Amino acid sequence: MKVIREPLSRRTMLRGAGALMALPFLEAMTPSAKAADLAARPKRLQVFYTPNGMMMDGFRPATQGEGFALPSSLEPLASFRDQISVFSGLGHPQAAAFGDFPAGHGRSCPAFLTGVHVKQTEGTDIRCGISVDQVYANHLGDATQLSSLELGIDQASLLGSCDINYSCAYTNGISWRSATVPLPVASNPGDVFERLFGDGDALDAKSRLAQLRRQSSILDFVADDTQRLSGQLGMEDRRKLDEYLEATRDIEKRIQKAMATGPSAQATDMQRPAGIPDAFDEHVKLMIDLQVLAMQADITRVGSFMIGREICNRTYPEIGVADSHHMLSHHGNNPDKMAKLAKINRYHMEFFAYYLKKMRETKDGEGSLLDRTLVIRGSAFGDPNVHDHMDLPVIVAGGLTKGNRSVAVAKGTTMSNLLLASLNVLGVPDTKFGDSDAPLKELVRA
């Protein structure tokens, strides 16, 4: 008689000495291997945000439809063109002043994922609206360990205003749990790792994991449980588990290296906490890898990543740009400043390509994470020189919508229509979001 083994619970964890590890999607978690097909896997939402707008000539394709030529800033995405749609013409009417003080960043950044006109204030009485990622997180409920994961590179400014008459809460992040609760962005990879793998049930989990980051590996803590589980898995599942554990250990090593080295004397931000790599590119890739690892283990299905805070003044000497990013964004049509801003735009796009590559290379059932993820990449401005919030540089990527196309909508079409359509693609039946008037019909699967 053939024995039918009960499927492994999707909530199965590896445990040991205050550490806790979720597992990637395994065939053993379904009644049969056939159940692990594309349609059975969860849908995910990710947002990749870049500050200070873009040089639109380097972003906007010259032609519409399929087979368009990639402009200079989009060339790093060449290998993903079948899974990207480039949108132009979308805007946020609610980012207009409407009689408020004319400070664009403080209104445009919070409107990006909410479609809401924020309250002008430098105090604690901030008011915006729920962001699209949190609507989807609420729809998923308690399906995952974390409802969402908000990551970034820059630390938050906690006090005062960051744009004239606008609280720093409006430019620190892009995710809002409610009209009055912005979600903080985590920038320290060590803290994020601890959040993902610390066992909240253990009273001394934090101290144990702090010691772990200094001298041990989380894999050592869960070794016995890993060995026990491995004996229950088939060959393909063991391979997937090994890949996941290898990725986890690689991230640990990079975090430990950053903690041991600390920021160099040349670092411009001497207030950075220990554990943040000195090199910008290492920091960005490490945070992206953590976001992908969290999705791979199904710790969360919703995430956002800010490669810089809005009004970011970072310089990029590694690509030959020693000028402040924000200052360059107000280029005044100076050719030299415009060329430098274009270099920053392309540099950021290379990291977006890395983001997509990591998702495409990470197995999820019979496909990849990218196949079942809707990724929105964008900025709160188009041309930053004039704070243009009515023609935004937006890309939608992943396998849930049609790709290989350039789409120009009527300028000023509210981006809330795209955000509403995104929710519908993800299975949320809402008929209204922000200031939407209808789901954007162009955001459909082939």
List pLDDT tens digits, range 230-284.
877 888 788 878 878 888 888 888 777 776 654 443 344 434 455 789 899 999 9
pLDDT of residue 116: 98
Q: Does 317 or 218 have the greater pLDDT score?
A: 317
Instruction: Classify residue 67: in a domain, yes or no.
Output: yes
Residue 250 lies in a domain: no
Q: Provide the token pair at 305.
A: 């990543």
Q: Which pLDDT value is given to residue 220?
A: 80
Check if the beta carbon of residue 61 is closer than 8 Å to that of residue 359: no
CATH number of the CATH domain containing 78: 3.40.720.10
Instruction: Say what the pLDDT of residue 198 is.
Output: 66
- pLDDT-derived band of residue 37, with 50, 70 and 90 as boundaries? low
The verdict on residue 204 lying in a domain is: no
Task: Specify the long-range contacts of residues 252-258, CB closer than 8 Å, at least 24 apart.
Answer: 252/193, 252/213, 252/217, 252/218, 252/219, 254/189, 254/282, 254/286, 255/189, 255/190, 255/193, 255/213, 255/286, 256/213, 256/214, 258/189, 258/190, 258/282, 258/286
Min mean pLDDT across 8-17, 113-122, 285-294 is at 8-17
The answer to the question of residue 219 being in a domain is no
- How is 235-256 classified by DSSP, letter by letter? HHHHHHHHHHHHHHHHHHHHHH
Amino acid (one-letter) located at 327: M
In the prediction, which pLDDT does 399 show?
94
The predicted-structure confidence for 10-23, as pLDDT tens digits, reads as follows: 667 787 766 777 77
| pLDDT for position 416 | 98
Q: How far is CA 357 from CA 72, 134, 282, in A?
A: 19, 25, 16
Lowest mean pLDDT among 150-159, 253-262, 434-443: 253-262
- Structural domain includes residue 138: yes
List, for residues 53-101, the tens digit of each pLDDT value.
999 999 999 999 998 999 999 999 999 999 999 999 999 999 999 988 7
pLDDT tens profile 118-153: 999 998 899 999 999 999 999 999 888 899 999 999
Q: Would you say residue 315 lies in a domain?
A: yes
Owning domain of residue 344:
41-187+276-425
More confident residue, 216 or 356: 356
pTM comes to 0.87
pLDDT category of residue 3 using cuts at 50, 70 and 90: very low
Q: Provide the residue type at 31 as one letter.
A: P
- Is 394 inside any structural domain? yes
Residue 31 lies in a domain: no
Residue 365 has pLDDT above 80, yes or no: no
How confident is the model at residue 430, as a pLDDT? 97
- pLDDT: which is higher, 237 or 208: 237
The count of structural domains within the chain is 1
Contact 96, 389 (CB under 8 A): yes
Average pLDDT over residues 400-427: 96
Which pLDDT value is given to residue 145? 85
Alpha helices in 198-234, H assignment, sequence order: 205-215, 218-221, 223-230
